[in-house]
Amino acid sequence: MFDVSKVLDSGNDNFYIDIHIIRPFPPACIVRDDLGNPKTCMYGGKKRARIPSASIKYDMRKAFEKRWGKSAVGIRTRLVKEIIAKKIVSIDSTISAETAEKLIDDMLVGKKKLISKDTLFFISNKQVESIAKVLADYYVNNRELIEAAEKEEAKKTGKKKDDPLSDEKKACVKALIDALRKNPAIDMLFLGRMAAEDPSLGYEACVQMAQAISVHEVVEEFDYFTASDDCTRDDGHGAGHIGVTPFNASTVYEYASINVIEMLEQFVEYYEKYESDLAAYAVATFVNEFIDAIPKGMSKRNAHTTLPEAVYVLINTGSPINLAGAFEKPIKADRDGGYSEPAIKRLAEYAKRQFVENSKQPYREWAIGTDAFGSEIRTDRKTMLQEVGEEVLKKQSEMEK
């Protein structure tokens, strides 16, 4: 007999933590486009304020750095060669900075090497240390042959000779690949890494993050301002500077999802050892920082840092679900004004309808700041983070059995 539940049942094979936020912003220019205007997009046929996910991620990485320390987060840079060369010299002072950079050029960075020299590369401090040690050991163990090869190259005889370091170079490259794969920083696993020269060195991001959009239509406004000159030579009339700054005010919907199973699997693959509660702390920290993350563009002028009006966190054992569809039809301010309250109400109704009609009931739910999702799941942030961490530990224990 046919049983449709076998088609719909995901088998609890997945474990996504979805975070939905409704947040109001005062007049501000949070993220600007190439013309200096607040970024926008068309959604549901209406112009919406837009905050790119990359801007939110950047703010979160800075928050991770403050919380965990600079050495615990990844470095995204085009100056990989300089950073590793400095570390090589600190490991072995007999190796000059010039020699260290040549080693890196020969073995690691450049065209058809492991790391492209022309693109940003995401690397952890532990990877920098491991790579520097591999290259320093390679040079010390083969110093005479390397120096002889350099002298031979300087002669430019044009005759091709067998490379006496061929086997050593292969072993070194193999060790460099291992050093580049192991011990990524937590934010590198959350946000992923693309390696242009060698895709095998990339990390699949454990996090999906949507661009935040306003729940209502926005109209761009302009602040015409003047600044006085305190040391003017004339009678003081007029302005020392005149300018125009575009801005808007918006209430936005934000969404992110963490693939906990993928994160735990990458922990096993890339870390030789780690604290048993590392995943729980990492996920709870991500959720907490996502709730607080706000790009700082022109914040000194606009002071636009706000807390959410509502946070809805849930665990999906099927697939991550973005609920932006609730706002395809833009919210209209209620009779007394305001977008947050009607937006929260619509989000809650939309979520309930989608979950029920598509048989996608969440495994667990938490709501902060509202009863709209059900008074029984309303809680505070501390309790929610504690229980989210405990659910991650529970899932980790199940996977280890």
| Sequential DSSP letters for 250-277 | EEEEEEEEEEHHHHHHHHHHH-S---TT
**What is the arithmetic mean of pLDDT over 106-124?**
86
| pLDDT value for 60 | 92
Tell me, what amino acid is at 103? Answer: L
Q: Looking at per-residue confidence, does 372 or 72 come out higher?
A: 372
Q: Any bridge partners for residue 109, and if so which?
A: 115
Cβ atoms 103, 139 nearer than 8 A:
yes
Q: Which residue bears the tokens 């996920």?
A: 283
**What is the arithmetic mean of pLDDT over 373-393?**
97
55 φ/ψ angles, rounded to the nearest 5 degrees:
-70, -40
pLDDT of 157 strictly over 80: no
Tell me, what amino acid is at 183? Answer: N
Tokens representing residue 121 in the block: 């590369």
The three-state secondary structure class of 115 is strand
pLDDT of 254 strictly over 80: yes
Tokens representing residue 57 in the block: 């991620």
Q: Is 265 exposed, middle or buried (0-12, 13-18, 19+ CB in 10 A)?
A: middle
**What is the arithmetic mean of pLDDT over 65-80?**
90
**What is the arithmetic mean of pLDDT over 157-170?**
69
pLDDT of 250 strictly over 70: yes
Q: Who's near 170: CB < 8 A, 6+ residues apart?
A: none
The three-state secondary structure class of 220 is coil
Q: Any bridge partners for residue 136, and if so which?
A: none
Strand stretches in 66-199, DSSP E = 75-77, 121-123
How many residues are recorded in the chain? Answer: 401
Tokens representing residue 294 in the block: 């706000």
Give the start-to-end residue ranges of the domains of the chain.
5-71+208-224+246-400, 75-183
Q: At what angle do helices 260-270 and 381-400 cross, to 10 degrees?
A: 60
Long-range contacts of 152-155 (CB under 8 A, 24+ apart): none
**What is the arithmetic mean of pLDDT over 207-232?**
89
Instruction: Give the separation between CA 80 and CA 66, rounded to whole angstroms.
Output: 22
Q: Who's near 75: CB < 8 A, 6+ residues apart?
A: 83, 122, 123, 124, 125, 128
pLDDT of 400 strictly over 60: yes
Q: Is the dihedral of CA 42, 55, 181, 118 positive or negative?
A: positive
Instruction: Give the separation between CA 277 and CA 274, rounded to whole angstroms.
Output: 8
pLDDT of 15 strictly over 60: yes
Rg (CA), the chain: 27
**pTM score above 0.75:** yes
Instruction: Give the separation between CA 32 and CA 29, rounded to whole angstroms.
Output: 7
Q: What's the whole-number average pLDDT of the chain?
A: 89
Instruction: Give the separation between CA 19 and CA 56, rounded to whole angstroms.
Output: 14
| pLDDT value for 281 | 94
| pLDDT value for 373 | 97
pLDDT category of residue 52 using cuts at 50, 70 and 90: very high
Q: Which residue bears the tokens 């580049």?
A: 180
DSSP 210: P
| pLDDT value for 274 | 87
125-156 residue pLDDT tens: 999 999 999 999 998 888 877 777 767 665 66
| pLDDT value for 8 | 67
pLDDT of 28 strictly over 80: yes
Q: Which helix (DSSP H) or strand (DSSP E) does residue 143 occupy? A: helix 143-155
Angle at the Cα of 173 (from 168 to 177), degrees rounded to 5?
Answer: 150
| pLDDT value for 236 | 60
Q: Looking at per-residue confidence, does 180 or 273 come out higher?
A: 180
Instruction: Give the separation between CA 307 and CA 369, rounded to whole angstroms.
Output: 10
pLDDT category of residue 272 using cuts at 50, 70 and 90: confident
Closest CA to 320 of 193, 194, 209: 209
Q: Looking at per-residue confidence, does 386 or 143 come out higher?
A: 386
| pLDDT value for 205 | 95
Q: Hey, which of 2-16, 101-115, 156-170 has the most confident mean pLDDT?
A: 101-115
Tokens representing residue 169 in the block: 């170079």
**What is the arithmetic mean of pLDDT over 4-23?**
81
